[in-house]
Amino acid sequence: MKARFRQFLAIFLMGVIFITTTGFGLLEHSCLMNSKKSASVFEKQACCPKKKNTATDTAGTIIKPAVCCESQAHVANIDLAPAVEKVATFLEKAFFTIVETTIRMFVSVMQTAEAVLNSSDSSPPLAGKDISIRHRSLLI
What value does the mean pLDDT of the chain take?
77
Highest mean pLDDT among 5-19, 62-76, 100-114, 117-131: 100-114
Residue 7 reports pLDDT greater than 80: yes
23's CB contacts (< 8 A; 6+ apart) are 75, 76, 77, 78
Model confidence over 96-130: pLDDT tens digits? 999 999 999 999 999 998 888 777 666 667 777 77
Q: pTM for this structure?
A: 0.38
Question: Do 39 and 31 touch, CB atoms closer than 8 A?
Answer: no
d(CA 54, CA 97): 71
